[in-house]
Amino acid sequence: MTILDKITSDKHKEVALKKSIIPRTQLEQSVLFEKQTISLSNALAKSKSGIIAEHKRRSPSKATINNALRVQDVAKGYEKAGVCGMSVLTDTTYFGGSLDDLLIARASCNLPLLRKEFIIDEYQLLEAKAYGADVILLIAAILTRNEIKQFSELAKSLNLDVLLEVHNQEELHKSIMPSIDMLGVNNRNLKTFQVSIETSKELSNLIPNDFIKVSESGISHVETIKELQQYGYQGFLIGENFMKSNNPGESATKFINSII
């Protein structure tokens, strides 16, 4: 069993438990459920840097990254730095995040917020909306084509942007549909956790130009971004690079200034 299989198996149990405690109707009555969303894909299309900066305490591949920072400080710092959007990890077991992190980020900034989660059920989209997300992540490796269609169409009905993540050609082919806004190529193999930027380069020509191309994982140098921009990438999800510093906002500011 790979780490991805284990995460997905645990996620099914977690979501089943949540559904038994908090009904869908309660999520739909949340104050934030009616809030107008902010489009990440629009922000990326207009940006010169395309940075999506992440709040991430730990990960299965790196253990603890940074537990000392407050979400509100990170969110405000990223907004001041001029990032296009903020990704918030909401998985507790493997990444140390929570839906409360998303809620706090929403109260602290006006950036498009991506709920970074292993989505396996429609219920999680309602949670994302109720806790202030503007964007959801769908991971092709753990979903069927029908599930991708079902979840992305529900997301669009909720005015949520959809970032669909792929790792190879097979996943990409099953994922191309009109209800997707952004196609993300994860340079980290979720089965081995090895990282290679070549993955983004190899898949770039196979992604239709209707989609904003996003490169994810393993990006820590400005040169890498400039190189990937040549391949048509407009978005860059940076997880650990800013979070391993004492001041992620300041780190992001320096990074963005080097690009533009």
* 82 contacts 253 by C-beta, under 8 angstroms: yes
Q: What angle do CA 105, 107, 101 make, to 5 degrees?
A: 30
Q: What angle do CA 74, 60, 213 make, to 5 degrees?
A: 65
Q: How far is 195 from 218, CA to CA, in rounded Å?
A: 6
User: Would you give the DSSP letter of residue 188?
Assistant: B
SS3 46: helix
The dihedral through the CA atoms of 62, 63, 66, 71 has a sign that is positive
Closest by CA position to 122, among listed 149, 91, 95: 149
Residues annotated as catalytic are 54, 56, 116, 165, 186, 216-217
* 86 contacts 52 by C-beta, under 8 angstroms: yes
Angle between helices 123-130 and 145-157 (to 10 degrees): 30
In Å, how far are 87, 135, 142 from 191, measured between CA atoms? Answer: 22, 25, 11
Token duo for residue 248? 């992620």
Three-state secondary structure along 215-256? EECCCCCHHHHHHHHCCCEEEEEECHHHHCCCCHHHHHHHHH
